Structure 1
Amino acid sequence: MFDPTVFDNLKVVIEGYIYDLDLEKELSVTNRSDIVDLATMSRRYSLTFVSSQFRKTYVTIEISMDQEQLAGELLQTITEPGCHVVVSFVEEARSQDYDELFYRKLKKCWGNSHNIHLILMKEKTNTTTKYIHNFNVDFINSFGENNLEKLLNIVDQSISLLKQKSES
């Protein structure tokens, strides 16, 4: 019988939770990716969604498990294997000026114990110029099965921040 890894269990819980919110019209899932990287023997899963009312900004929640954690769990050499979590808020804009208030909200919410990065990109064609603002929250802690509540709290906080962004 197949014994699911921590990665599989977290993936199923997050996926079910977010798709339930999609069914309730709280948000709309726009993309999903589930990758097994055979070159690095790692796993990565991401779900992207937008607010039902505000589609200008989207959120991607990604969990990943590297070779060390995955092998350690399967070989039982790691007692508490865990996944790495990154949450990204991405928006298209007409100028390079980013939402400073939103950046401060991210810092206030998660900045003390996690890394927050802002990536500004400019996409220029012959006729148009658009800017892409990517706010990444890179969680330092590893998340295992004992941290499901914290992980779902991150999902809820991400949705709340997305809704706040849509109201501003």
Structure 2
Amino acid sequence: MFDPTIFENLKVALENQVYDLDNIERKIIITNRVDQIDLSILAREFSVQFTLVSSRDVTAEIVLMASLDELAGEILELPGTNLGCSLLLRFYKQVQNFPIQCKIIEQNLNDIWEDDVELSQTLSFLFNQEEPSYLDTIEVKFTRKINEEHMGDIEDFLEHVLETLEELHSI
């Protein structure tokens, strides 16, 4: 009998709640979904991108990842292994006054996400653009692995993602 992995169980639970926010609650619009197996390193990755219905200028992306070590440790039932998945959030926002806006973004996201995250911002721009604007790719990387014990936290997690989208829209 097939026993789904931690990755599969988390992916289905996360995907269901995100799609409920789109189809039932109509708070978000899903703009992209990726479910990949990297055969060169035997890793899994699931991501879903979405915007708020009320403001589409900021995009959120939730990325769930499992490496070969996590998948093999679970399937082979290796003792003493820290099994789970990695979780990463990305937000995409256009900024004009990046020295000020990026500092505000950092402060506000640290207030929302508090502990156990690594926050980074990467700026890019199009050459010869008439009005200079920068794409700020904001990454919120969770330092702890997640597993099925965290399924009950998905609803609160998604509320924080929505709060972050609203906050980024207001900056």
Alignment TM-score, normalising by the size of structure 2: 0.89
Q: Tell me the secondary structure at the aligned position of residue 123 of structure 1.
A: coil
Q: Could you tell me which residue of structure 2 aligns to residue 122 of structure 1?
A: 125
The answer as to whether partners of 1:143 and 1:151 remain within 8 angstroms in 2 is: no
Q: Tell me the secondary structure at the aligned position of residue 82 of structure 1.
A: coil
Q: Could you tell me which residue of structure 1 aligns to residue 104 of structure 2?
A: 101
The structural deviation recorded for 1:80 is: 5.3
Rounded to whole Å, the distance in 1 between the matches of 2:117 and 2:21 is: 26
Q: Could you tell me which residue of structure 2 aligns to residue 10 of structure 1?
A: 10
Name which of structure 1's ranges 153-162 and 81-90 shifts more when overlaid on structure 2: 153-162
Rounded to whole Å, the distance in 1 between the matches of 2:41 and 2:104 is: 38
Q: Flag the 1:107–1:126 CA change in 2: closer, same or farther, 3 A.
A: closer
The structural deviation recorded for 1:121 is: 1.3
The answer as to whether partners of 2:92 and 2:137 remain within 8 angstroms in 1 is: yes
Q: Could you tell me which residue of structure 2 aligns to residue 62 of structure 1?
A: 63
Rounded to whole Å, the distance in 2 between the matches of 1:86 and 1:50 is: 17
Q: Tell me the secondary structure at the aligned position of residue 48 of structure 1.
A: strand
* Identity %, equivalent residues: 26
CA RMSD of aligned residues (A): 1.9
Q: Could you tell me which residue of structure 1 aligns to residue 159 of structure 2?
A: 156
Q: Flag the 1:131–1:167 CA change in 2: closer, same or farther, 3 A.
A: closer
The answer as to whether partners of 1:47 and 1:61 remain within 8 angstroms in 2 is: yes
Alignment of 1:26 with 2:39, yes or no, is no
Name which of structure 1's ranges 75-84 and 138-147 shifts more when overlaid on structure 2: 75-84
Rounded to whole Å, the distance in 1 between the matches of 2:144 and 2:129 is: 44
* Structure 1 outlier segments of 4+, above 4 Å: 126-129
User: Structure 1, residues 70-121: CA drift from partner, whole Å, max 9, x if none?
Assistant: 0000101156520000011111234434343232121122243211111111
Q: How does 1:57-96 map to 2 (within 5 A)?
A: 57-78=58-79, 81-96=83-98
Unaligned stretches of 5+ residues in structure 1: none
Q: Tell me the secondary structure at the aligned position of residue 32 of structure 2.
A: strand
User: Structure 1, residues 37-60: CA drift from partner, whole Å, max 9, x if none?
Assistant: 110010000000000011111000
Rounded to whole Å, the distance in 1 between the matches of 2:142 and 2:4 is: 23
Rounded to whole Å, the distance in 2 between the matches of 1:99 and 1:27 is: 24
Rounded to whole Å, the distance in 2 between the matches of 1:162 and 1:21 is: 14
Rounded to whole Å, the distance in 2 between the matches of 1:37 and 1:125 is: 36
Rounded to whole Å, the distance in 2 between the matches of 1:126 and 1:114 is: 34
Amino acid aligned to 2:74 = E
Name which of structure 1's ranges 104-113 and 12-21 shifts more when overlaid on structure 2: 104-113
Rounded to whole Å, the distance in 2 between the matches of 1:31 and 1:143 is: 23
Alignment TM-score, normalising by the size of structure 1: 0.90
